[in-house]
Amino acid sequence: MQTPKVLGGIDFGLMDPETYRDMSATKVITADTYDDDGYPIDMGLMDPRLGVIDPGLECRTCGSHSGSCNGHFGHIELAAPVIHVGFTKLIRRLLRSTCRECGRLALDEAQRDEFRERYERAEELGDDQHDVLKAAVRQARKASTCPFCGEPQADIKHEKPTTYYEVQDVLSGEYSERIAAAMQPDEEEDDPGTSPQELAEKTDIALDRINEIMAGEFRPRKEDRRAIEKALDLDLTEEDMNKLMPSDIRDWFEDIPDEDLEVLGIDSQDSRPEWMILTVLPVPPVTTRPSITLDNGQRSEDDLTHKLVDIIRINQRFMENREAGAPQLIIEDLWELLQYHVTTFVDNEISGTPPARHRSGRPLKTLSQRLKGKEGRFRGSLSGKRVNFSARTVISPDPTLSLNEVGVPDRVATEMTQTLNVTERNVEEARQYVRNGPEAHPGANYVRRPDGRRLKVTEKNCEELAEKVEADWEVNRHLVDGDIVIFNRQPSLHRMSIMAHEVVVMPYKTFRLNTVVCPPYNADFDGDEMNMHALQNEEARAEARVLMRVQEQILSPRFGGNIIGAIQDHISGTYLLTHSNPQFTETQALDLLRATRVDELPEADGVDDDGREYWTGQTLFSELLPDDLSLHFSSSTGDDVVIENGQLVEGTIDEDAVGAFGGEVVDTLTKEYGETRSRIFINEIASLAMRAIMHFGFSIGIDDESIPPEAEEQVDDAIESAYERVQELIATYEAGELESLPGRGVDETLEMKIMQTLGKARDSAGEIADQHFGDDNPAVVMARSGARGSMLNLTQMAGSVGQQAVRGERINRGYEDRTLSHYRANDLSAEAHGFVENSYRGGLTPEEFFFHAMGGREGLVDTAVRTSKSGYLQRRLINALSELEAQYDGSVRDTSGRIVQFEFGEDGTSPVKVSSGEGDGIDVDGIVDRVVDAEFSSDDEKERFLGERTPATNLSEHTGPGGTKATETGVESDD
């Protein structure tokens, strides 16, 4: 077996043409790919020396078959050098800053030293070195002559993308006309004009010569030209653009000495600038551009292959034409065409260059496009990889599962496998898996013999194969109950979006979860899908069990409280169970507790009128609490909750007690009694609550929001009087008597006051409605207990929906001076600007409905914008902070060792273990008072309080220590 190699580092640089040739498996000279028989053509783009993609064929370079051969580069000898588009800016910079004659950087020694020093300083300080380089280029560009050889420097014009010109001022072709025009007398300007004699005198040029020049028979030399220009105050030059061919540039760059490149921050060893001009084009291996065979047997080539075909065709035409001695114009055209194809081969999204297109009109995806963007190589295939052993399906709830478990459909379990290393001790078990075959669960899909051969288990060979299985074999068995898998719901916004669960294999097609894990995943069951990953080595499985299991994630690091706990109906259930403390008969009580560990009822709370024993809801709830738990807090319902020694003495158990997002009881249990105890409690409270809500029955219908006619009248009155007040405000405003609030205009003030008035109207409508709802109204129960919904929802259903707003204001848009054509222009009244006086139950008028839709639409748009913005924010935050890690010394450093914090969060306190608002979470005074003033009832309690031992981690629902399924139910395992 080959020793796996570990990547130590990656060196970046340019390659020189000789290296391209050396590493090339073959020169590619023909644009054809396959011959008539479908075999790849020699020295073509699909040459088998470049690697193989068809199964069965052998690579002619390394001898391996497709799948094990990574492919090999080939090369094309370009007929003429072409520019690499990625480096056009740098090429421009080099042309401008170096001498066209001797190639040296046009900076004298002092300037070089200065820039070299600045560059090093920038590197040390972590500043942008690019700025220094740019400054050096700018400085060098200023030189009009080379400080080394004295050659005058022409300006360089860059025509995007890949054309460069030298710009020189040369004598204009119409110099004689221009001189004559300047010498003409101009009567209007009172200019007498210049005679040739005068000009000769002024310029010190012989008169004959002047005459010749004026006749256009003699081109004045530079000095004479300057003299004439000065004398006549005119410009005789025009810009001459001399195109620099890539070959010229290449020659130029070859002259640049290594030490000059260092000043410009170019690595002269690995990246000589002339290598930016390509003379040899590497041909990527066939494996990077596999062709696909369509259904009709036709081959469809990859975009890169198409591009390479173009390059080879033009390259050939170029060579043929040059050999045939074609005119320069044709050669230049072909050269440009070759440049175009190489350019688009590298990057097909260059502005100003039409992208190369597929026959169908779709722009080709060439090298840069393969790397870029979300679906590109970097973000799409390197940072995020596709994996085996994963499954995805719809999720549905299952309250009988533990929160640590996940229901896995049998058809998933038979597909995902775990490797079982066969030993003497499990050989029978292993054989049984194989014997069951690939279809029956729990079976096996593959076996691996000690010699490394992998055999597929089939329905036919399973019996036979099972007998052959011995120690040292490997069996890929199906997932079975108790296996650990990773479960994930996207978007994975925090670490609780990926947790480890224990498998429970189940029939049907969905993944099943306990509903208490919905909050961390942010999952619901309206069609959400989730992903499951089966772990493939012991290390990963151990880490998943110890660190990633759901019960280890009960506390959220964001706020240090529990994120897993009772939700929705669980809360309604515990509310109903404890709020008015109802009584239950023995049968009822046992039924309520049937899915918990409790199998014996405590002493009855009393005897009812019929002489039967009864138990109260609070007593039953207390059965789930540890015996030494004492807590005081106030509930969301508004009463004080007192728990003493594991007994709920008074108070309602609702969201603030057992809810996800910081329910007191769950939070305390997790922090003081450990994750395992907390998991048991959450599981049990969820099932007790479900039993309770089923006992009482709980539903909501349209009648639950109806209020008596007299209440409706009161609501109408309240709204009517608000309308009157609004009218008064408008009248004051129109009379110009409205006093504006400080810092606001009158218009704004009016709007604010109207909004206020109408807001109050809605609230009073709500209050009126509230008075008519009993405490047992299901909507009220849900709102009070924190299960779902709010009193505002109820107000809107029964009282009045209220003001609709767009951008925080009353609705003001629509037609000119009015919102809808139903209203008069400039109507400022409540109803014309989106006040919905009806309730949802009563029904909205068409106008109200329309305004309501406007407000609703804004909400939808807001959500859409928000998800994309916050997703990007999240990506940036993660990217910036991902390297930070707490160290053994308590400091926070990045992976290269740079210290960011000397102590995490200034005091080293873990955000998971301490709630956000609690400072460092150490209540010294509390500890002192407790130790000195109160006896501990037991050593256990003392130990728990002083925290001398952390409870042993329970690793599975099925094995100890701590609470397991077996001990939870008090039933001994059967096997």
Partner 1 sequence: MTEYEHVTDDMEAVVEATELPPRLKTEVYEALDRKAAESDVTIEQATDIATGVENRYIETRVDPLDPVGTVSAQSIGEPGTQMTMNTFHYAGVAEIDVTQGLPRLIELVDARKTPDTPMMTVHLDGEYATDREKAHEVVWSIEATRILALGDVSTNVADMLVRIDLNDDTLLERWPTHSDPSEVAAIIAETIEDSLGVNTRQSGTVVEFGPSEPSYRELLQLVERLREIVFKGIEEIERVVIRKEEIDGDEEFVLYTEGSAFGDTLDIEGVDASRTTCNNIHEIYRNLGVEAARETIIDETKNTLEEQGLDDVNVRHLMLVADIMTNNGEIDSIGRHGISGSKDSVLARAAFEVTVNHLLDAAIHGEYDELDGVIENVIAGKPISLGTGDVDLRMGSRVVSDD
Site residues (CB under 5 A) for Mg ion, limited to 492-551: 524, 526, 528
β-strand partners of 673: none
Applying the rule CB under 8 A, the residues between 546 and 605 that interact with partner 1 are 547, 557-561
By CB under 8 A, tell whether 423 contacts partner 1.
no
Out of 67, 138, 142, 149, point to the residue binding Zn ion (CB under 5 A). 149
Token pair belonging to 466: 């099972």
Amino acid at residue number 952:
A
Amino acid (1-letter code) at residue 94: L
Answer yes or no: are the C-beta atoms of 641 and 657 closer than 8 Å: yes
CB of 561 to partner 1, least distance (A): 7
Decide: is 59 part of the binding site for Zn ion (CB under 5 A). Answer: yes
- Residue whose CB is less far from partner 1, 421 or 721: 421
The site that binds partner 1 (CB under 8 A) totals a number of residues, namely 106
Report the amino acid identity of residue 136.
Answer: A
Encoded tokens for 272: 């000589």
DSSP string, 88-109: HHHHHHHHHHB-TTT--BS--H
Residue 208 touches which member of partner 1, Zn ion, Mg ion, none, C-beta under 5-8 Å by kind: none
What whole-number distance in Å separates Cα of residue 21 and Cα of residue 27? 8
Q: Within a 10 A sphere around the Cβ of 349, how many other Cβ atoms?
A: 13
As a whole number of angstroms, the distance between CA 885 and CA 901 comes to 10
The reply to whether 673 sits near partner 1 by the rule CB under 8 A is no
The binding track of 6-45 with respect to partner 1, each residue x by CB under 8 A or -, is xxxxxxxxx-------------------------------
Give the count of beta carbons closer than 10 Å to the beta carbon of residue 901. 14
Strand order of the β-sheet with 899-901 is 885-886, 892-893, 899-901
Provide, rounded to whole angstroms, the least separation between the CB of residue 676 and partner 1.
16
Interaction residues for partner 1, span 735-764 (CB under 8 A)? 741-744
From the list Zn ion, Mg ion, partner 1, none, partner contacted by residue 101 (C-beta under 5 to 8 A by kind): Zn ion
Contact call for residues 153 and 97 (beta carbons, < 8 A): no
Partner touching 59 among Mg ion, partner 1, Zn ion, none, CB below 5 to 8 Å by kind: Zn ion
User: What is the closest distance, in whole angstroms, from the C-beta atom of residue 422 to Zn ion in the complex?
Assistant: 36
Residue among 285 and 651 whose Cβ is closer to Zn ion: 285
* 924 in contact with partner 1 (CB under 8 A): yes
Alpha carbon 646 to chain centroid, angstroms: 45
> Binding residue for partner 1 (CB under 8 A) from 101, 212, 439, 543?
543
Q: Which of residues 95-114 bind Zn ion (CB under 5 A)?
A: 99, 101-102
With CB under 8 A as the contact rule, which of the stretches 408-416, 509-517, 649-657, 884-892 interacts with partner 1? 884-892
In order of 340, 415, 432, 514, the CA distances from 405 in angstroms are 59, 19, 25, 8
**Burial zone of 678 (CB within 10 Å; 0-12 exposed, 13-18 middle, 19+ buried):** buried
Residue 530 near residue 487 (C-beta atoms within 8 A): yes
**Distance (Å, rounded) from C-alpha 575 to C-alpha 783?**
11
Of the candidate residues 34, 148, 218, 525, the single one contacting Zn ion (CB under 5 A): 148
String marking each residue 358-397 x if it binds partner 1 according to CB under 8 A = ----------x--xxx--x-xx--xx--------------
> Alpha-carbon distance 880 to 526, whole Å?
35
Out of Mg ion, partner 1, Zn ion, none, which partner does residue 538 contact, by CB within 5 to 8 A per kind? partner 1
CB of 359 to Zn ion, least distance (A): 31
Query: Which residue, 800, 801, 795, 805, is CA-closest to 833?
Result: 805
**By C-beta, is 822 or 942 nearer to partner 1?**
942
| 292 is a contact residue toward partner 1 (CB under 8 A) | no
> What minimum distance in Å lies between the beta carbon of 846 and partner 1?
28
Please tell me whether residue 493 binds partner 1 under the rule CB under 8 A: yes
Which of 2, 697, 737, 888 touches partner 1 by CB under 8 A?
A: 888
**Dihedral angle, C-alpha 900, 903, 904, 905, nearest 10 °:** -100
Alpha helices in 579-708 (DSSP H): 586-592, 617-622, 655-658, 664-668, 675-696
2 binds, among Mg ion, partner 1, Zn ion, none (CB under 5 to 8 A by kind): none
Does the protein bind Zn ion through residue 57 (CB under 5 A)? no
Which positions ≥6 away from 346 have C-beta within 8 Å?
Answer: 84, 85, 86, 366, 367, 368
Residues in contact with partner 1, shown as a per-residue x/- string from 826 to 865 under the rule CB under 8 A? ------------------------------------x--x
Q: Are 686 and 566 in contact (CB under 8 A)?
A: yes
* Closest distance to partner 1 from the beta carbon of 704 (Å): 28
**Side by side, which strands form the sheet with 163-171?**
155-159, 163-171, 237-244
Residues contributing to the site for Zn ion (CB under 5 A): 59, 61-62, 69, 99, 101-102, 146, 148-149, 151
Residues contributing to the site for Mg ion (CB under 5 A): 524, 526, 528
